[in-house]
Chain A
Amino acid sequence: MKISGSEILIESLKKEGVRHIFGYPGGVVLNIFDFLHDEKELQLILTRHEQGAVHAADGYARATGKAGVALVTSGPGATNTVTGIATAAMDSIPLVVISGQVPTMLIGNDAFQEADIVGITRPCTKYNFLIKDVSELARTIKEAFHIATTGRPGPVLVDLPKDVTTSKAEFIWPEQIKLRSYNPTYEGNRHMINQAAHMISKAKKPLIIAGGGVIASGASKELRELAELTDVPVTMTLMGLGGFPGSHKLSLGMLGMHGTYYANKAVQDADLLIAIGMRFDDRVTGKIDAFAPNARIIHIDIDPTSIRKNVRVDVPIVGDVKRVLTVMNKVIREEVKEQWSEVRKAWSKQLEAWKKERPMTYDRDADIIKPQYVIEKIYELTGGNAIIATEVGQNQMWAAQFFKYDKPRTWLSSGGLGTMGYGFPAAIGAQLAFPDKLVIDIAGDGSIQMNIQELATAVINKLPVKVAILNNRFLGMVRQWQELFFHERYSHTKLDEIIPDFVKLAEAYNAVGLRATKKSEVEPVLKEAFRIKRTVFMDFVIDWTEKVYPMVPAGAAIDQMLFPEEKKKPEKKLKAVK
């Protein structure tokens, strides 16, 4: 029996196990939306902006490990997805974005709501398709999911002209597909793995740097086994948080521009780096010529282009992190019988000394609300048992520094692209996937306004997402740079004259709004928010002068860190602002 392209699309998504899609209707996707109207198994979540739809699908994907799906119309609907797609591409998140397109007859005619979205998204997708014939549709959807979720994951866009959604064809679902030009390498080279195991056994000052690849490949258990087996400390990139338990005694927390003192010191002093599922981003390495001067580098990554892109590598291992670590752990268990603790005694002593010298801290005695205090309270009250999404900027860095992520897929943050407005829709996506979990978006007063319209999505779908706004009346991270490097000239970063009343704003959307202006109010507000099974905005009026430390200035080596007391001059009081 022949069915329409719209039905083929819906059946294909169901075959892929999709239950939720995020989207927004429009002219050329009307046929698809008409079939979704009576659809029982496949639920469309209407966001209030297409960017929100893609971020929500991204949050859903990060929290579940499955591909997130978004469906939008042509032209502006499609172009509004670009930031979301680029966000997912930079962080290797599997997405399938389906965009409507004008009828094939009109493509290239500058038709109403036409955009060459395949051309526009070519550099920010893993792959994209324009379907010209309904007979290709089912197979293309299968290929889209295959490409998005295998190898190094990433977003795939499928552009679907209106006439393809109405044309009819037999629904033939390919159970298996093979693409001759796409064969990711999963098994690491055995010889290289042996060599790496041998180097780890010999190293006196080894350090593991774990990235997002650990989470993408589901290798947390194997990573923990490697670290414990060989007694090697672990530091994580922003994307790697949760890949190794943050509360583990071998954890050094995050490294890089706002990494811990001891993690960055360890990188610079290590004689061996075991880089796992990470890509040596500039925020991780700092000044590249001065990075890890004493270390030989083992680099495990599924993407060969990540290896030797930014740093020299002594032992490259292309493969899936989980499979490589499984083999490596086996080799180490069988062949290498060092007494690790003895060999590494001096190293662990040194690490302990650095931890004591400069622990992660802030002014805990301040009367005013410190943002770090809010994060610590959230950690304390949830026992770490929450999914944390973040926006981008200071809020994101404090959330990375002062909350310990013990499990993978509990940390949702735009790492590579650094997309403000990501966190709230991402939290919505995660909450939809896990209705019973506590999902908290840690936000700033700037970032939250970038996708604040999704309050409607959260409320109408009864998603009890909690948004903790660290309200400093500034675009805080940019302000921090202006204070440190631009003579306190706060050009266009001061928001306080026109900041909305977040409590009233939440109430206007039929959500709950709470506010804390004093330190003593923080805990009651959080407790109240966690108790209520509704969408809650919490407005924490924090110390606007607070900065993210440690900080490696741009272009400096990562052990050239700034700390609060190294400010060039005493902090100006509030008068500078008001």
Chain B
Amino acid sequence: MRHTISVLVENKFGVLSRISGLFSGRGYNIESLSVGETTDANISVMTIVTVGDDWIIEQITKQLNKLIDVIKVIDMTELDHVEREMVMIKVSPRQEDKAEVLRIAEIFRGRIVDSGAKTYTIEVTGEEKKIEAIVELLRPMGIKEFVRTGKIAMAREGIKKS
């Protein structure tokens, strides 16, 4: 099963390497990983999407907790939470498809962040399913480039992070 795990870490050099080394060294999967500072500049939060059965996920969370630089590990999958991911998609449509591209972007509340003679770059934010849906619709229009941030996640109000 797929799990989204938030990891609060000390914002030191080498921490990313400790986390990724743990996953590669023990043969765990990383589907995506995003890192950013929190309001406290000394703490970063990493959001890791990984796949495994209950045994593996239990080991992953324990192993993460064991790392000296890890302050807290929260398996978001066990909580009511919100997940978001942003993608930028550069589309190079034929002349007759241009209007359709703009229409799809609008339906998905995407924004055109760059537009040139041949391409549009669309920014879309949302859950994984939404991202997948827009990608599928745009694919026939000619996707030239595609970059995604990886997921970030946050527990909903009233959920205790234990």
Interface residues, chain A, with chain B CB atoms under 8 Å away: 118-119, 122-123, 126-127, 130, 147, 179-182, 303-305, 308-309
Could you give, for residues 53-73 of chain B, a 1 whenever the CB lies within 8 Å of some chain A CB and a 0 otherwise? 001001100110110111100
A119 touches B66 (CB 8 A): no
Asked whether B18 is an interface residue with its Cβ less than 8 Å from the other chain, the reply is yes
Residues in chain B near residue A303, CB distance under 8 A:
66
Residues in chain A near residue B59, CB distance under 8 A:
305, 308-309
B63 touches A119 (CB 8 A): no
A119–B13 CA distance with the chains assembled, in angstroms: 11
A122 touches B21 (CB 8 A): yes
A308 touches B58 (CB 8 A): yes
Residues in chain A near residue B69, CB distance under 8 A:
181
Residues in chain B near residue A119, CB distance under 8 A:
17
Asked whether B140 is an interface residue with its Cβ less than 8 Å from the other chain, the reply is no
Residues in chain A near residue B85, CB distance under 8 A:
none
Residues of B23-64 at the interface with A, using a CB-CB cut-off of 8 Å, are: 25, 55, 58-59, 62-63
B14 touches A181 (CB 8 A): no
A304–B66 CA distance with the chains assembled, in angstroms: 8
A316 to chain B: closest CB distance in Å? 11
A308–B21 CA distance with the chains assembled, in angstroms: 22
With A118-B14, A122-B21, A123-B21 known to touch, is A304 a contact of B62 (CB < 8 Å)?
yes
When the two chains form the complex, which single residue of B55, B63, B70 contacts A308, counting CB atoms closer than 8 Å?
Answer: B55
Asked whether B127 is an interface residue with its Cβ less than 8 Å from the other chain, the reply is no
Interface residues, chain B, with chain A CB atoms under 8 Å away: 9-10, 14, 17-18, 21, 25, 55, 58-59, 62-63, 65-66, 68-71
Residues in chain B near residue A130, CB distance under 8 A:
14
Residues in chain B near residue A308, CB distance under 8 A:
55, 58-59
A414–B140 CA distance with the chains assembled, in angstroms: 61
A119–B21 CA distance with the chains assembled, in angstroms: 10
B68 touches A126 (CB 8 A): yes
Residues in chain B near residue A181, CB distance under 8 A:
9-10, 68-71
Kindly report which residue of chain A lies nearest to residue B72, judged by CB atoms.
A181
Q: List 19 A-B contacts (CB under 8 A).
A: A118-B14, A122-B14, A122-B17, A123-B21, A123-B25, A127-B68, A130-B14, A147-B68, A181-B9, A181-B10, A181-B68, A181-B69, A181-B70, A181-B71, A304-B62, A304-B66, A305-B59, A305-B66, A308-B59
Kindly report which residue of chain B lies nearest to residue A318, judged by CB atoms.
B62
Residues in chain A near residue B14, CB distance under 8 A:
118, 122, 130
Residues in chain A near residue B25, CB distance under 8 A:
123
Residues in chain B near residue A305, CB distance under 8 A:
59, 62-63, 66
A309–B55 CA distance with the chains assembled, in angstroms: 8
A311 to chain B: closest CB distance in Å? 11
When the two chains form the complex, which single residue of A122, A179, A182, A304 contacts B18, counting CB atoms closer than 8 Å?
Answer: A122
A164 to chain B: closest CB distance in Å? 16
A411–B21 CA distance with the chains assembled, in angstroms: 33
A169 to chain B: closest CB distance in Å? 20
Residues in chain A near residue B62, CB distance under 8 A:
304-305
A142 to chain B: closest CB distance in Å? 14
A122–B25 CA distance with the chains assembled, in angstroms: 11
A127 to chain B: closest CB distance in Å? 5
B161 to chain A: closest CB distance in Å? 15
A501 to chain B: closest CB distance in Å? 43
- Looking at A118, A126, A305, A308, the one whose CB has the most chain B CB atoms below 10 A away is A305
B86 to chain A: closest CB distance in Å? 29
A122–B14 CA distance with the chains assembled, in angstroms: 9
B68 touches A182 (CB 8 A): yes
Residues in chain A near residue B18, CB distance under 8 A:
122
Residues in chain B near residue A182, CB distance under 8 A:
68
Question: Besides A122-B14, A147-B68, A181-B9, 19 other CB < 8 A contacts?
Answer: A118-B14, A119-B17, A122-B17, A122-B21, A123-B25, A126-B68, A127-B68, A130-B14, A179-B68, A181-B69, A181-B71, A182-B68, A303-B66, A304-B65, A305-B59, A305-B63, A308-B58, A308-B59, A309-B59
A308–B59 CA distance with the chains assembled, in angstroms: 8
Kindly report which residue of chain B lies nearest to residue A306, judged by CB atoms.
B62
Kindly report which residue of chain A lies nearest to residue B63, judged by CB atoms.
A305
A130–B17 CA distance with the chains assembled, in angstroms: 14
Residues in chain B near residue A122, CB distance under 8 A:
14, 17-18, 21
Nearest first, the 7 A-B pairs at minimum CB distance are: A181-B71, A305-B62, A127-B68, A304-B62, A123-B25, A182-B68, A305-B63
Kindly report which residue of chain B lies nearest to residue A125, judged by CB atoms.
B68
- Looking at A180, A181, A309, the one whose CB has the most chain B CB atoms below 10 A away is A181
- Looking at B25, B58, B68, B71, the one whose CB has the most chain A CB atoms below 10 A away is B68
B71 touches A180 (CB 8 A): yes
Kindly report which residue of chain B lies nearest to residue A118, judged by CB atoms.
B14
A118 to chain B: closest CB distance in Å? 7
